[in-house]
Amino acid sequence: MTWGKSVELNYDLDSVLVWARKLQLSKPAEKNWALSDDQTYWEGECPDNLWSYLNTIVPLDGDFRGKGPNYCTLQEYPSCKILSPHIDHTEKYEATFLLPLIGRATTSIVEPNTANKIDSITYGPREVFWLKNGEYWHMVEPVDEYRLVIMFFITKGTDLDRL
C-alpha cells in the first residue's frame, strides 16, 4: 500500500503563479493554522483550466465543506520551520493533493507521536504530491527556505493505490 506519491506535472505554472499572487493580494491571509505559527493561507477557487488538468490525475473535491467550486487553499510557509509530526482528520476527503509553486519539501511518514522516519518523498515545483494524511502520521521538512503550495482535497472513496 502506497502512503504518498509524487507525479511529474505537465502544466505551465506561469499563469498559476499570477493567479496565486492575485489571490494573496485580494484579501488578508488566514493565520489560524494549528500546526505552524508562521504558516498563512488563503482560501480560493482554482482556475478552471488547472482544475480540469489536475482532475485527469486524481478526482478532486471541488465543493469541499460547501466552499466550492474548485476549492483549494494557497499555503505560504515564509520560513524553514518543520511541520511537526501529526495525523489529520480526513472524514470528508480521501487525502491531500499538493501542488508546489515555489520551494521544495520532504514529507516523511513517521512512527505515531514521534519523529522516527519510516519513509520519505521529496517534491517541488513541476510535480504534484498526494498523501494519505489521515492514515499515516507524517511530518514536513522544507528543503528551500520559502515555500508556496496549493492544497486540494481528493474525493472521498478514491482508490489511490490504483494511481
Predicted model pTM: 0.94
Mapping DSSP to helix (H, G, I), strand (E, B) and coil, where does residue 75 land? strand
Q: How confident is the model at residue 37, as a pLDDT?
A: 66
Backbone phi and psi for residue 106, each to the nearest 5 degrees, phi listed first: -120, 120
| Residue 98 bridge partners (DSSP) | 129, 151
Domain assignments of the chain as residue spans, ordered by start: 4-156
Q: How confident is the model at residue 35, as a pLDDT?
A: 57
Q: How confident is the model at residue 96, as a pLDDT?
A: 96
CB atoms within 10 A of CB 39: 21
Flag residues of the chain having pLDDT under 70.
Answer: 1, 33-37
pLDDT in tens, 150-159: 999 999 999 9
Q: How confident is the model at residue 7, as a pLDDT?
A: 95
| Averaged pLDDT of the chain | 93
Whether 24 and 101 have beta carbons less than 8 Å apart is answered as no
pLDDT in tens, 79-105: 878 889 999 999 999 999 999 999 999
Which residue do the cell numbers 487553499 mark? 73
Domain 4-156 has CATH 2.60.120.590: yes
Q: How confident is the model at residue 131, as a pLDDT?
A: 97
Q: How confident is the model at residue 126, as a pLDDT?
A: 95
Q: How confident is the model at residue 36, as a pLDDT?
A: 62
